[in-house]
Structure 1
């Protein structure tokens, strides 16, 4: 019997948006990313990112420090 050795990643249950989940997962792997870095890596429009990031910040999942984003 072989055990699954992949790490378990949990995403807050209240995330309804696929973009919110992607941004959250991206920031778990690459903290301190700029909006442009995230948009380029995920292939999303900057306006979409800023809208989702604002919601994530309001819900205290993400913080913005000196123009860079990371998990709170």
Structure 2
């Protein structure tokens, strides 16, 4: 039995914190998520996720449409 994997694009150089890398990789592997889904999947407090997501959005790495978060193209 073989497992198919999809190669991830390399992490952007501007990601310096482990938490921002974790959130970025989670969004990359899932194709997008809500804040609640990230909180449940990564076991991080919402206040931490708000800070990380704000930073990723300011850097143009993440898009937010309503509650949905996705990687910027």
| Length-normalised TM-score, structure 1 | 0.85
Counterpart for residue 65 of structure 1: 65
Counterpart for residue 37 of structure 1: 37
Structure 1 unaligned blocks of 5 or more: none
Bigger CA radius of gyration: 1
Structure 2 unaligned blocks of 5 or more: none
**Distance in 1, Cα, partners of 2:6 & 2:33:** 24
- Which stretch has the larger CA shift, 39-48 or 8-17? 8-17
Gap change, CA 1:16 and 1:6, over 3 Å in 2: same
Aligned residue pairs total 68
Poorly superposed stretches of 4+, deviation over 6 Å: none
Task: Confirm or deny: 8 A CA contact 2:8 2:29 kept in the other structure.
Answer: no
| Length-normalised TM-score, structure 2 | 0.84
